[in-house]
Structures are given as C-alpha cells and as structure tokens.
Amino acid sequence: MNQVLSKTKGDRWIWLIVILLSVWSLLAVYSSTGTIAYKNDKSAEQYLIKHLVMIAGGLALMYFSHKLDYRYYGGISKVLMILTIPLLLYTLIFGNQVNEANRWVTIPVINQTFQTSDLAKLALITFLARTLTKKQERIKDVKQAFLPIMGSVSAVFILIALANLSTALMLFGVSILLLIIGRISIKQILIVCLAGAVLLTGVIFLGPRRKTYASRIEAYMHPEKADPDKSFQANQSKIAIATGGFLGKGPGNSTQRNFLPHPYSDFVYALIIEEYGLMGGIVLVIIYLVFLYRCILIVTASPKAFGALLAAGLSFSLTIQAFANMAVAVGLGPVTGVPLPLVSMGGTSILFTSVAFGIILSVSRDIEEKKNGGDPDEKKVVVGEIPAVG
C-alpha cells in the first residue's frame, strides 16, 4: 500500500474523494441492479463485477493520466477536436438510438457502446484551455482568437444538443466560465451567449427531440396536469427520498429500486437518500463541494495559465454535472439523462470521468513538484505543443 501511495502524486484529498465515490458507487450499483438483473435473467453480482471492472479501469486511467505532464494535453486537444466533430456527426446519423436519441456508437470487436459526448466534453475543455492560453496576447483579435473559440463552442454545442440537450447546456456553461477566466471581453462573451441562445431555440422548437423536451418541461412545470407516464420517474424519485427519512432504510433495503426505471444511473442519488437517508445525501453533496474547493486551490496555485484553465474547466464540468443529477433527483429540475460522476453505473462515462480527474491531479502534481524544487529530469514544454519523449 505504501508503495502505491508513494507513486501517486497530486492532491491527496482528491484521491480520497475518488476512493470514497468509487466505494459508494459499488454499494449503490449492487443494491440497485436487482430488478434489472431479474428481468434479464442475470444475477446482481454480474452487474457488480462488470461495474467493478469499469471502476478498476477508470482508476488505472486516472493513474496514468496523472503521471503524464498536463502540458501534453494541450497538443492532444488539437487531435481530439479533429476527431470529435466528425464523430459527433456520425453519432447523430448512424448512432444507436435509445429513447429517441442517437447518443451512442458501438465500438467494433469489444461490442461496447460509447457515448461520444463524453469525449467531446474532454476535447472542448482542453482545446479552449489551450487556445485561451496561446492567444492571450491577441485575445481580443476577432480573426485569430475569437472566431476559432466561437466556432468550436458552437459546433460542439449544436451537435450534442440535437441528441442530449442537458449535456450540451452544461458544457456551454462551462465554456462561458472558461471564457470569463480567460479574459475574453464582455462583448465577445455576449456574442457567444447570443449564438448559443439562437442555437438553443432552434433545437427546442425545430430539433428532432422537440416533443420530448416540451413534455419534460410540461411535466416539471405542471406535474398535476402531465401525463402520468411522463412524470413517473420524477414521482418515484420523490417517493424514494420521502421514505428515506434522516438515516435511511439501510444499505440494500431500498424498495423504490423496483419502480425507478434507472435507479443505478440517472436516479442513483434518490436511491442513496432512500438507503442512507438525508444524512447520506448531505454527505455526498459535501464530498463534491470539497472536491470543488480543492480544485479551486489548484487553480489559484497553478503558475501557468494553461494548468489553471484546464483544472478549472474540468472541475466545473464534473461539479456542475454532479449537482445537475442531484437536482433532478430531488425535483429541482426536469428529468435529464445526466449520470452522477463516479457514482452512477456506466461504461465509457466512468472512463472519461476518471481521465478528467487524472488531468486535474496532473496539474496538482506539477504544482507539488515545483514547490519541492521540481523534477531534475523534467523537460521544458511549450504550452500547446507535444514535447519530445525520450
């Protein structure tokens, strides 16, 4: 154990948070998959083992991501953006359709579904951090700085929003926060917001899922008038929370897992409150708040703009996603398909979330090394360029 700890660098609080969320995830997934296991003639242990494998794979990716100098990700971001746009377009046209939305593509050979928006989030945030850093001296230049930024944000937003509006809105919000931190002028930020509003209006009123969005908003705003089928998930989630009490029913004693359509992913927070009570729900909120606080310390301590922007963007993305999921579970927002980071059962979403945590830890590791005098073997790297290896 000491050997493992000696090889892990970066903020120890974030490592502890990752371990806590992973263990809680295993408990919640094992408890919540009994019904789906019965329906599919499988055992809950099979789902647990599969989820354990994904958690282990995520931890491995997090470890390797944190060992890589974060400045490498500046160069990688260009490749990711080149891949992301056509991949999102391919998903919209040829992706697997679930609940009237083409969000997934199937990876050949391993036959594993892959949600391309997970890659897009990572790609856009790293690309914006790199661009804002490299263009600081010409940040107000429309052609050199503003148009590439606005074009990338708008393209990713519209391609994700057509199938997954909630994810697109969160990513757009994170992008605006990065633009503010990156000293983009208020006028240019307002132009980006205006473009986003126009695209959002088009998606809501003209997009392929406009009826779904309208029904979900109607069910949220007027639940007493809504179709019972449309408000079923939200109602069952509220029942789970109401019956959980202060200390909960205990691990594995949930009853609403038999009624909630997705108690292991979209509504895992409702199941957690039912089993661990209001106290458990508050503890989970505090864990994500501590994570955000530790990331803010990393952002303020980072000597390089790229590291600060990278840590800020990824931490905001993960935290906003977490609170969006929890808000839906407690009835503070319309139903979405946003998972709870590192807690909800998932495949590639866990892996990409783990990479995001790893990149943040890489920035933290760099800060630690500089405080301790630096690594004598460390090579100087130009932000946005992949340094020579070896």
Q: What is the pLDDT of residue 253?
A: 87
Q: What is the pLDDT of residue 137?
A: 67
Q: What is the pLDDT of residue 3?
A: 54
DSSP per-residue string spanning 42-72: --HHHHHHHHHHHHHHHHHHHHHHHHS-TTH
pTM recorded for the entire structure: 0.89
Q: What is the pLDDT of residue 374?
A: 57
Q: What is the pLDDT of residue 283?
A: 96
Q: What is the pLDDT of residue 100?
A: 63
Q: What is the pLDDT of residue 37?
A: 83
Q: Tokens 């789906």 identify what position?
A: 36
R_g of the chain computed on alpha carbons: 21
Residue extents of the structural domains in the chain = 1-68+233-350, 70-208
Cβ-proximal residues to 244 (8 Å cutoff; 6+ apart), any chain:
273, 274, 275, 276, 277, 278, 281
Q: Which residues pair with 106 in a beta bridge?
A: 113
Condensed to tens digits (0 to 9), the pLDDT of residues 188-224 reads: 889 889 988 998 888 888 877 778 777 777 777 777 6
Provide the percentage of residues in the chain whose pLDDT is more than 90.
39
Closest CA to 348 of 129, 103, 149, 118: 118
Strands 96-98 and 112-115: unpaired
From residue 15, give the alpha-carbon distance in Å to each of 186, 285, 291.
37, 17, 10
Q: What is the pLDDT of residue 14?
A: 95
Q: Which residues of the chain have pLDDT under 70?
A: 1-7, 97-101, 108-111, 136-144, 224-230, 374-390
Q: What is the pLDDT of residue 231?
A: 75
Q: Which residues pair with 105 in a beta bridge?
A: 114
The SS3 assignment for 141 reads coil
Q: What is the pLDDT of residue 384?
A: 38
